[in-house]
Amino acid sequence: MTNDIKKMDDIISSTMDIKRPSLIKRLFTINETVTENKVYLTPKIDVYVNGESQPDIKVEIKDAGLEEKIDSLAEYRLSKEPFYLTQNGESKLFQTAFEQKLPFMLKGPTGCGKTRFVEHMAYHLGKPLITVSCQEDLSASDLTGRIMLNQRGTYWQDGPLALAARYGGLCYLDEVVEARNDVMVLIHSLTDHRRILPIDKTGEVIKAHDDFMLVVSYNPNYQSALKGMKESTRQRFLALDFDYPSRELEIDVVKKESYISHSDAAKLVDFGRCLRQMKDKGLKEGASTRLLIYAGQLMHSGVDQYTAIKSAIASPLTDEPDIYKSIMDLAKAKW
């Protein structure tokens, strides 16, 4: 670079017949032009001789008009590998679905590892992950985007589904059956061979990026699941039945996530597995891996075992005094 500048100054000095090259000054500027998902960097050098601008001296810069890609989904990339222990070939299945551009549905009880699995897969595929927690007010336009207003007028802002479809990434609709019906209609054209997302408000039709994958999850134990998903929607997805991890795996998960000993984790997991047998016999759902981890975390922080079981497991699981008592009796027998 220094050599280049020296050469440049020599040329200017000789063409302008300047005796003292120190009179030559250069002003470097870089113009930034941002287009849809690219930024163009255009470097420019203005020459001044003895303080006077020399617009006739044009300095050419090699590689001018450098183009840099903006990563529109940078904030959705996972920087740290999520801790996940594979249960039963689910990673391979998911990866194949991604490669084949097939949408994926995870079914399973709360707190059994669905979200963690999707995060793990996004990390391993090296793709961004946009997660949307669906609820009854979530509408199609929350997913596609909105027309916004600023000082310069109106502009279109992509919603999470449009972002993932346009730039390529995993879009995870958690508890999809909770969303409004227009959401289901919206995902139809994205989940069959067409892989398109029509944006009604602008008339644009987004052809999904090759790296786009739609992943949805729901808990079949919730009532709304039955009325929520039509056959025509269900039959667009590959489905994977998710469940609590096997005993040995769950012990490892609880141990790793709550820093308790192997034997303490084993006790908690066995206790959790007993409670799962009470499902439909008073409990709507068994104790999730998540709750077992909470109890382990409390124990690790010095909270006594009964208080930990009460506040992390018994109380979140039931409001029924009899069931609550049975859970605590079982805890007393175990510890």
Ligand X SMILES: Nc1ncnc2c1ncn2[C@@H]1O[C@H](COP(=O)(O)OP(=O)(O)OP(=O)(O)O)[C@@H](O)[C@H]1O
Query: Quick one: 172 or 212, whose CB is closer to Mg ion?
Result: 172
Binding to ligand X by CB under 6 A, coded x per residue (else -) over 198-237, reads ---------------------x------------------
CB of 317 to Mg ion, least distance (A): 18
Query: Quick one: 180 or 290, whose CB is closer to ligand X?
Result: 290
CB of 98 to Mg ion, least distance (A): 19
Task: Report the site for ligand X in 266-295 (rule: CB under 6 A).
Answer: 289-290, 293
Question: Does position 296 bind ligand X by CB under 6 A?
Answer: no
Q: Are strands 213-218 and 170-174 parallel, antiparallel or unpaired?
A: parallel
Q: Do 242 and 93 touch, CB atoms closer than 8 A?
A: no
Q: How many residues bind ligand X (CB under 6 A)?
A: 20
CB of 175 to ligand X, least distance (A): 7
Please name the residues in contact with 192: beta carbons below 8 A apart, sequence gap of 6 or more: 236
Considering only 9, 73, 115, 190, the residue that binds ligand X (CB under 6 A) is 115
By CB under 6 A, which span of 34-42, 113-121, 152-160, 266-274 interacts with ligand X? Answer: 113-121
Query: Quick one: 110 or 141, whose CB is closer to Mg ion?
Result: 110
Please name the residues in contact with 74: beta carbons below 8 A apart, sequence gap of 6 or more: 128
Question: Does position 115 bind Mg ion by CB under 5 A?
Answer: yes
Q: How far apart are CA 314 and CA 327, in angstroms?
A: 6
Buried b (16+ CB within 10 A) or exposed e, 127-160: bbbbbbebeeebebbbbbbeeeeeeeeeeeebbb
Query: Quick one: 103 or 113, whose CB is closer to ligand X?
Result: 113
Question: Nearest 10 degrees: CA dihedral of 115, 120, 121, 125?
Answer: 140
Question: Does position 83 bind ligand X by CB under 6 A?
Answer: yes
Considering only 110, 131, 139, 141, the residue that binds ligand X (CB under 6 A) is 110
Q: Do 145 and 185 touch, CB atoms closer than 8 A?
A: no
Task: Report the site for ligand X in 305-324 (rule: CB under 6 A).
Answer: none
- From first CA to last CA, the distance across the chain in angstroms is 73
Question: Does position 159 bind ligand X by CB under 6 A?
Answer: no
Sequence-ordered alpha helix ranges (H) in the chain: 2-16, 90-99, 114-125, 140-144, 160-167, 181-188, 223-228, 231-234, 247-258, 262-276, 289-300, 305-309, 315-317, 321-334
Query: Quick one: 108 or 145, whose CB is closer to Mg ion?
Result: 108
Considering only 128, 169, 245, 286, the residue that binds ligand X (CB under 6 A) is 245
Residues that bind Mg ion (CB under 5 A): 115
